[in-house]
Structure 1
Amino acid sequence: MDLMLTLVSGIAWTVVYVEAIRVGLRDRTYAMPVAALALNFAWESTYAVRELSVGVSAQGVVNVVWAVADLAIVYTYLRFGRAELPEFVTRPLFATWSVLIFGTGFAVQWLFLAHFGMHDATRYSAFLQNLLMSGLFIGLYTARQGPHGQSLTIAVAKWLGTLAPTLLFGVVEDAPFILGLGILCSVFDLAYIGLLLRPRFARVRSLPAPSR
């Protein structure tokens, strides 16, 4: 059971990253909210280094792969992100803001690590930033007034990628705090999936009835 849930989570999140890169390049935008992207990149970079510093492990290799994928998403943000901001946001201001937000992402991860230690920090920070991400995706949909730079594949894979470790850590390992955060993530993820599906349902309802 543990291995199956771990594999589901790993595969689902890999799908999220690959699809985010594809959609970002296709739509000339970034497909992950920048605050969530900063935290994700910092989490995967930090724990890839920590894992591999004590020896090669499957999770360490996966974290490296995810961190490299995150770099590609970071590129789409740096390449296209300024175009979505008001004109008064100059290149130097955009660069300063980007350094600040990505630097904050690393600072947050290191503070979790210093306070909670390796075992708890990986879990607490991951689920808290996942909850933030779930809300920010809805905010992204609202800010862009539609699904530009987003996709149902990202939404569903993100939900499954978080649901699997929720079951693993929250249920199998009996961690109520993580279970509660995971349930909240699912609530927001399902709401986001509903937003992306809404135009499809609207098109179906607007189709003319078949003639007899």
Structure 2
Amino acid sequence: MKILLIGGVGTLGTAVGSALTEREHEVITVGRATGDLRFDISDPEQTAALYEQAGQVDAVVSTAGDVPYKPVVELSAEDYESAFRGKVRSQIELVRQGTRRVAERGSFTLITGVLSRDPIPTSSAASMANGAVEAFVLAAAKEIAPQRVNAVSPTVFTESLEKYGSFFPGIPPVDLAEVAQAYVRSVEGADTGRIYTLS
């Protein structure tokens, strides 16, 4: 399959790209400043340009989403709008615009995260964004068939425990390799409207 991988050079994106490449897929990485193609998908016009340059693909995989972390009383309206643009609208646009660019039985796999179901202090913007993406996946799956859409919702990565583990006390981590396999399942399987929770 020809697969667009958004955020393909980040921590998760690298693992997902390796897993897909090992299964002999053609993976095209997309990032703001690095990757095979350089586009900022938080801008709908750049998403359109991305699809125009990439041409027809079999699957779109997203491993990227930017959200701010602050206490509720310190988050501004712009912070919440930033979370929406960076993780929700960006991924909605991948699907909305992508239905015309992805194969008839192709798929979209989006990224959410544990904070939609198990928030931590300072995570209200991230929790909001994750929950919105998951709700979108459930709704969109009913409308875009036979194309498919799913989301992967991991907890903190085992490989990132040293940096982020203190923010997730008592929450079991998950290995990047296991998260990458959830993406493989979404791309190669038959599921749609699924939220793959990994913890």
| TM-score for both structures, normalised by structure 1 | 0.33
Bigger relative CO (Cα 8 Å, ≥ 6 apart): 1
Structure ranking higher in strand proportion: 2
Q: Which has the larger radius of gyration?
A: 1
| TM-score for both structures, normalised by structure 2 | 0.35
